[in-house]
Structure 1
Amino acid sequence: MHTSWLTANSYGKLSNQVQGAFIAPLPAFDIISVSGPDSRKYLQSQTTCDIDKLTDDTFLRGAHCDAKGKTWSVFHLLQQHDELLIVAFRDELNASVAQWRKFGVFSKVSFNAADNNFATLGIGGSGAAELVGRLGFNLPGGNGRLSRHNDGAILQLADEHFMLILPKSDAIALLDSDYPLAAPTLWLKQHILQGLCYLEQPLIGEFVPQMLNLQAVDAISFTKGCYLGQETVARMKYLGRNKRASWILQAETDEAPAAGCDIEQQFNDNWRRVGQVINAVNINNQLWLIAVLPNDITPVDSLRLKSDSAPALQLLPLPYHLS
């Protein structure tokens, strides 16, 4: 975890007990700048989102797949002056950038770490919109939109759920101010409850994008030109071959399962493995997770985490419709 922009004093302010709106540093999320005359054209051929639809006041959610249509990363992409910035969890971003550099040697495009210049934070909680205004930003005006202030940008991921990109010096100053600060886990809980996820190392290259519900959060374009893995992604949509989806689950337990941990379903007297944890967070012995399961799972199905204590899992509703 890169923590050069987080001071000991800042760490001491972070809490999971914040009531209402909060700002949470997200040091596990990295930023890559993409530049060069072929940057847009190259990314258009490598990602599920339509780069041609990117504007100065919008951002794109997208995915990078391999040739078999398996997802290597889920990211957010925005324009910053004459560069593109890609924000994603460190594991998946490192995996994708290695591939982009490998196959981009014949294009006029370069990928450079931007975490020395920028920092990523999250804003959430009840009253988050008011907090956005206190920071000097206008409200973006809807999911998928962004607003700018000085050299910073705030991305609206969902209602009351934002990602904030700031110059590192501004982020340091912000965390030393009197704004309500929260631990990253509090933002991650909200991320999970919005049905959003990222990929940690064990799950990179394991799922097609529809298994992560990316078609439901406008991260897949089915009208753009060809891109890596498109044949598989299109087949899942038009031939109805996708049988799995991401679901939100909750349990009362002190466990905090790692990415890739198994989830089991009861069939008569037996339990059978039916899915895997993608992201999970435990706050005050309340476990929240998002997991890939059969797409016909229902709240009446008996589910449990495969572990020594095997806590029962409750299925929660998704905040969007699965198509």
Structure 2
Amino acid sequence: MAADDNRRMTTSSALDGAAPLPHWGLIRAQGDDAASFLHSQLTNDFSLLGTAEARLAGYCSAKGRLLASFIGWKRSGDDILLACSADLLAATQKRLSMFVLRAKCKLSDASPQWRLLGLTGPSAQAWLGSAAPSTVWGKTTHEGADVVRLPDVDGTARFLWAAPLDVTPPALPALDEAAWRVSEVKSGVARIEAATVDQFVPQMLNYEVLGGVDFKKGCYPGQEVVARSQYRGTIKRRSFLFSSSAALQAGQEVFHDADPSQPAGLVVNAASPLALVELKLTALEGGTVHVGSADGPALIREELPYLLPVADAA
């Protein structure tokens, strides 16, 4: 079987069932000011967030670099959950808490009391039935769990399932965690990990294309830098999908064969054989890109599941 066929088997036909998500964690924001506080801190609009939708959002430094990324949703008007990378949850919660001040908002690590699963394929659709959110980032409550519709992969629907530990998980086929991680990378939706904190402005990860940035919502940390990047045409780096025969990991430097002296990009997320790589747009104009060094393992560009602005698509 060809390598391309292997990749399709990993990310398409094998995607059915429920997978554990130990690499994700949950921050819970509770209180009358929970939505307004998060609205003032994150790249997306949380003041108008309804209980039937979720948001992709980033948390930036004053220089506009992402310190964390979230999938956030409301359980009720004063109760919001933020799913983020587990390896940076504690540091992110601590930093956010520093800015709560007098706001009526309590932040806590909900991970020990909640279970997260990735659901996908025909069995997930059958379990959800008519309750399945019909659009990406739609959210529903089903059999005691919150369910968020994630971007499809190869036409296969995917969902984030979140529930307290006393809620019985759906009786779906067990899906290998590695297969789910490949689907995360192939979806093209980047997740900030500990290895990539403070490396990217949101547009480098295509967040504005994916609905992760609201340019009308007003101030938040780094907002001026993010807006300037958008409106002054200074986006010179984007994230693209690559495959490789080498085992890759987040934070690895990527080099162009014509310029071995300095990195051209960085691995954002990886799950063999795929990686989401942030890269200088000029590195796509010719030559080859490699991980680790200019003569390291080659990266083969794959197709993203969404379109980038024409000027950036290369």
- Same fold, judged at TM 0.5 (above): yes
1:112-261 equivalences under 5 Å are: 112-124=108-120, 128-135=121-128, 138-159=131-152, 160-170=157-167, 173-174=169-170, 177=171, 179-253=172-246, 256-261=247-252
- Judge conservation of contact 1:129–1:139 (CA < 8 Å) in 2: no
Aligned-partner residue type, residue 301 of structure 1? G
Gaps in structure 2 of 5+ consecutive residues: 1-9, 310-314
Matched, 1:275 2:259: no
Q: Distance in 2 between matches of 1:259 and 1:88?
A: 15
Q: Distance in 2 between matches of 1:181 and 1:50?
A: 35
User: Displacement of 1:290 after TM fit?
Assistant: 0.6
User: Displacement of 1:46 after TM fit?
Assistant: 0.3
- Judge conservation of contact 2:257–2:295 (CA < 8 Å) in 1: no
Aligned-partner residue type, residue 267 of structure 1? A
Q: Distance in 2 between matches of 1:112 and 1:64?
A: 17
User: Displacement of 1:50 after TM fit?
Assistant: 0.7
- Judge conservation of contact 1:247–1:290 (CA < 8 Å) in 2: yes
- Judge conservation of contact 1:30–1:89 (CA < 8 Å) in 2: yes
1:322 is matched with which residue? 308
- Judge conservation of contact 2:11–2:182 (CA < 8 Å) in 1: no
- Judge conservation of contact 2:17–2:173 (CA < 8 Å) in 1: yes
User: Displacement of 1:309 after TM fit?
Assistant: 8.2
- Judge conservation of contact 1:18–1:182 (CA < 8 Å) in 2: no
Matched residues, percent identical?
A: 27
Q: Distance in 1 between matches of 2:284 and 2:178?
A: 27
SS of the aligned residue for 1:215 comes to coil
Aligned-partner residue type, residue 257 of structure 1? L
User: Displacement of 1:252 after TM fit?
Assistant: 2.2
Q: Name the CA shift for 1:251/1:168 in 2 (closer, same or farther; >3 Å).
A: same
Matched, 1:264 2:255: yes
- Judge conservation of contact 1:137–1:148 (CA < 8 Å) in 2: no
- Which one is further off, 46-55 or 128-137? 128-137
Matched, 1:75 2:70: yes
1:106-155 deviation line (CA, Å, top 9, x unaligned): 2221101212332111123xxx1552332567220111111211321211
1:14-163 equivalences under 5 Å are: 19-81=14-76, 82-124=78-120, 128-135=121-128, 138-159=131-152, 160-163=157-160
- Which one is further off, 289-298 or 185-194? 289-298
SS of the aligned residue for 1:190 comes to helix
User: Displacement of 1:211 after TM fit?
Assistant: 0.8
Q: Distance in 2 between matches of 1:289 and 1:302?
A: 16
TM-score, normalised with respect to structure 2: 0.86
Q: Name the CA shift for 1:266/1:89 in 2 (closer, same or farther; >3 Å).
A: same
TM-score, normalised with respect to structure 1: 0.84
User: Displacement of 1:314 after TM fit?
Assistant: 0.5
- Judge conservation of contact 1:133–1:139 (CA < 8 Å) in 2: no
Q: Distance in 1 between matches of 2:118 and 2:106?
A: 27
